Amino acid sequence: MAATFLREAHRNRRALIGARILVTLVSLLVFGSSASAQRRATTQPAQRMAGWVDQLADPDALVRERARDQMLGLTGDDLPTLRKVLAEASTLMPTQKSSLREIVAHVYLSSLPYERAIGDAGFLGVKWPDPVKQPNNFNLSEIPDFTAESFSGVVIARRLPGFPAYRTLRDGDIVTRLVDTKQDFATDPTIERKQEDRLVELLSGATPTRLFINAMTRFKSGDAVRLDILRNGRSMTVRVELAARPAVADQIGAVEDWVQERADQADKYWDSNFGSIMKDDPTPISMAR
């Protein structure tokens, strides 16, 4: 009986050792694979970033544009990796440096928190052209020719770094249609418009820009909107996911100072983290207006 007990105990011991070995092998496979995946996850983005940096100097404008668009989609967590890529890069061309500073500023600012407006309004992040002065100061002889707002659509006068429009749109783009609401903002360019007619439209708030702003108020933060635009004479449709509206956007006269403060922050970030590895630094963001 004692011998039987000892044989059983011996078998149990061997089974336990076998189970421990199996668990160890499984752990090595699982965690080893996970570690390899993590290593790949950290090296692949760096390789892609290095490729995009090279493409910023490509002779083909479309290649440069695609690389810029991809890099504008980086997050704040990607910036240390980008810094390492640039530190290891060979000599960069001035056009690459200028693009990289713009990219870093946008990505950095997109990661900064800000006070949101009450409610859940969406925010595109653009500045509209101001074709006239205050309505009570109208003078028919001073009404502009509307080269900025020619009734062919809504002109994007300036995008704000750190917000959705900066990546998707370009300064000078003309929005002709809000696809999701099927609302058009362009008028027939063959119709000659008198100054008096344009004045009436301005006073009534019927300009393309006013109509577009009103149409956008129905969208919330996180909503994706599709816009038909004209860019350098080419028609295209772009998709933009809206950010939350900043509280400062509802404060008259405060936006420009706020935008400049953020630009100054981006300049300081660049100087502290990228300035030492980039020679012949391009114009600071705060001055490139």
Report phi then psi at 228, rounded to 5. -85, 130
Q: Could you tell me the residue range of the domain that residue 160 belongs to?
A: 122-245
Q: What pLDDT was estimated at residue 205?
A: 53
pLDDT of 222 reads 94
Statement to judge: residues 132 and 241 lie in one domain: yes
Q: Is 30 exposed, middle or buried (0-12, 13-18, 19+ CB in 10 A)?
A: exposed
70 plus 128 within the same structural domain? no
Residue among 155, 180, 173, 189 at smallest CA distance from 235? 173
* Same structural domain, 96 and 129: no
Single-letter residue type at 117: A
Is the confidence at residue 289, as pLDDT, over 70?
A: no
pLDDT of residue 179: 85
116 belongs to a structural domain:
no
Decide if 101 is inside a domain: yes
Is residue 119 left, alpha or beta, with left meaning phi > 0 and alpha meaning psi from -120 to 50? left
Confidence of residue 215 (pLDDT cuts 50, 70, 90): confident
Look at residues 235, 143, 232 and name the one whose alpha carbon lies nearest to residue 186: 235
What's the CA gap between 66 and 52, in Å, rounded? Answer: 9
Q: Give me the number of domains the chain comprises.
A: 2
| Torsion angle of the four alpha carbons 145, 151, 154, 158, in this order, in degrees rounded to the nearest 10 | -10
Which structure tokens are listed for 119? 């409610």
> Is the residue at 179 inside a domain?
yes
Judge contact between 42 and 80, C-beta under 8 A. Answer: no
In a domain, 262, yes or no: no
Instruction: Give pLDDT, residue 208.
Output: 76
Identify whether residues 98 and 128 lie together within a single domain.
no
Q: pLDDT tens for residues 9-63? A: 455 555 544 545 444 443 433 334 434 433 334 445 899 999 999 999 999 999 9
Give the model's pLDDT for residue 182: 62
pLDDT value of residue 257: 93
Q: Which residues pair with 175 in a beta bridge?
A: 154, 229
Per-residue pLDDT tens for 56-82? 999 999 999 999 999 999 999 999 999
- Residue 86's CB is within 10 A of a number of other CB atoms, namely 19
* The pLDDT value given to residue 91: 84
Neighbouring residues of 170: CB distance < 8 A, sequence distance ≥ 6: 156, 159, 231
Q: Tell me: pLDDT of 244 over 70.
A: yes
User: Which stretches within the chain are classed as H helix?
Assistant: 2-55, 61-72, 79-88, 94-110, 164-168, 195-204, 208-216, 255-273
In this structure, the answer to whether residues 16 and 58 fall within a common structural domain is yes
Kindly state the percentage of the chain with pLDDT values over 90: 46
Whether residue 252 lies inside any domain: the answer is no
- Distance between CA atoms of 41 and 55, rounded to whole angstroms? 21
Q: Are 283 and 95 in contact (CB under 8 A)?
A: no
Query: 183: pLDDT confidence band, cut at 50, 70 and 90?
Result: low
Return the pLDDT at 232: 87
Residue % of the chain over a pLDDT of 70? 64
Residue 193: the pLDDT is 46
More confidently predicted of 44 and 260: 260
Q: What is the mean pLDDT of residues 209-230?
A: 89
Whether residue 88 sits in one domain with residue 142: no
101 and 202 fall within a common domain: no
What is the C-alpha separation between 167 and 126, in angstroms, rounded? Answer: 11
Tens of pLDDT, residue by residue over 112-163, are: 999 999 989 999 999 876 543 333 333 333 333 333 344 468 888 899 999 9
Q: Report the alpha-carbon angle 57-69-72, nearest 5.
A: 105
